[in-house]
Chain A
Amino acid sequence: MRVSEEEKSGFELKRRHVVACMCALSAGLPLHASAQDAATMQPPQVDDLLAYAFGDRAGQAVAIDDLAIDTQQVFAFALDPATGNMRNGTRMNQVVLVRLDPATLTPDTAARSANGVVAYSGVCSHTGCDVTDWNGEFKRFQCPCHESQFDPHDGARVVGGPAPWQLAALPLKEIDGKLAVAGTFEGRLGFPQPGQSPFGI
Chain B
Amino acid sequence: MKNIKTKMALLALTALPALVQAQDLAAMRDVSDERLRAPEPENWLMFRREYSGSGFSPLDQITPDNVARLKPVWTLSTGVTEGHQSPPIVNDGVMYVTTPLNLVYAVNAATGDVLWEYRRQLPFDLSLIHPTNRGVALYGDKVFMATSDAVLVALNARTGEVVWEKPVADYRTGYYMTMAPLAANGKIMVGVSGGERGIRGFVTALDAETGAEAWKTYTIPAPGEPGSETWPGDSWKTGGAPVWVTGTYDPALNISYWGTGNAGPWVGDARPGDNLYANSVIGLDVDTGELKGYHQYHWNDSWDWDEVSPPMLLDVTRNGRTFPALVHAGRNGYLWTLERKPDGISFVDAKPFVYQNVFTSIDSVTGRPTYNEDAKPGLDKPGSFCPSLSGGKNWTPAAYSPETKLLYIPANDNYCSTFAGTPVEYRPGQNFTGTTPSEAFIREGADHIGELQAWNVDTGEKVWTHEFDLANWGPVLATGGGVIFSGGTADRYFRAFDALSGELLWQQRLNSGITGVPTSYEVDGVQYIAIQSGWGVDALRMQNRLDTMQGRKNIVPQGGVVWVFAVENE
Contacts and interface: CB of A to CB of B under 8 A. Distances in A.
* Chain B residues touching A, majority SS: loop
Nearest to B129: A145
B341 interface: no
Interface string B126-161: 111101000000000000000000000000000111
B80 interface: yes
A145 B536 CA distance: 12
Contacts of B437: 133
B128 A1 contact: no
A1 B170 contact: no
A34 interface: no
Interface string B73-117: 000000111100000000000000001010100000000000011
Interface stretch (B217-225, B426-434, B449-457): B426-434
A1 B128 CA distance: 25
Interface stretch (A149-157, A169-177, A190-198): A190-198
A130 B173 CA distance: 14
B129 A26 contact: no
B66 interface: no
B119 interface: yes
B431 A91 contact: no
Contact of B119 (A127, A145, A189, A195): A195
Interface string A1-35: 11100000001000100010011001100000000
Interface in A118-155: 123, 127-130, 132-133, 144-147
A39 interface: no
Nearest to A55: B425
A46 interface: no
Contacts of A2: 116, 159-161
Given A2-B159, A92-B125, A130-B127, A162 B425 contact: no
Given A145-B129, A147-B541, A162-B558, A1 B117 contact: yes
Contacts of B427: 54
A90 interface: yes
Contact of B128 (A19, A128, A133, A195): A128
B544 A1 contact: no
A108 B160 CA distance: 48
Given A1-B159, A3-B161, A91-B127, A193 B117 contact: no
B171 interface: yes
Contact of B121 (A1, A26, A193): A193
B272 interface: no
Contact of B123 (A19, A55, A162): A19
Given A26-B171, A194-B103, A129 B127 contact: yes
A127 B162 contact: no
B212 interface: no
B119 A130 contact: no
Nearest to A20: B123
A1 B161 CA distance: 6
Contact of A146 (B80, B160, B541): B541
A95 B267 CA distance: 29
B558 A92 contact: no
Given A19-B123, A195-B119, A127 B172 contact: no
B167 interface: yes
Contacts of B99: 194
Contacts of B159: 1-3
Nearest to B170: A26
A162 B118 CA distance: 25
A94 to B, nearest CB: 10
B162 A128 contact: no
A82 to B, nearest CB: 25
A23 B544 CA distance: 36
Nearest to A127: B128
Contacts of B536: 162
Interface hub of A3, A22, A128 (most chain B Cβ within 10 A): A128
Nearest to A54: B427
Contacts of A3: 159, 161
Contacts of B124: 92, 189-190
B4 interface: no
Contacts of A128: 125-128
Contacts of A130: 127, 430-431
B122 interface: yes
Contacts of A194: 79-80, 99, 101, 103, 119
Given A2-B159, A11-B162, A129-B129, A193 B171 contact: no
Contacts of A162: 81, 536, 540, 558
A90 B101 contact: no
B160 A1 contact: yes
A7 to B, nearest CB: 8
Contacts of A55: 425
7 contacts: A1-B117, A26-B173, A55-B425, A127-B131, A145-B127, A146-B541, A195-B79
Shortest 5 CB-CB contacts between residues of A and residues of B: A127-B128, A1-B160, A26-B172, A128-B127, A26-B170
Given A3-B161, A23-B123, A133-B437, 17 more contacts: A1-B116, A1-B117, A1-B119, A11-B162, A19-B123, A90-B125, A91-B127, A91-B429, A92-B125, A123-B125, A128-B126, A129-B127, A146-B540, A147-B541, A190-B124, A193-B122, A194-B101
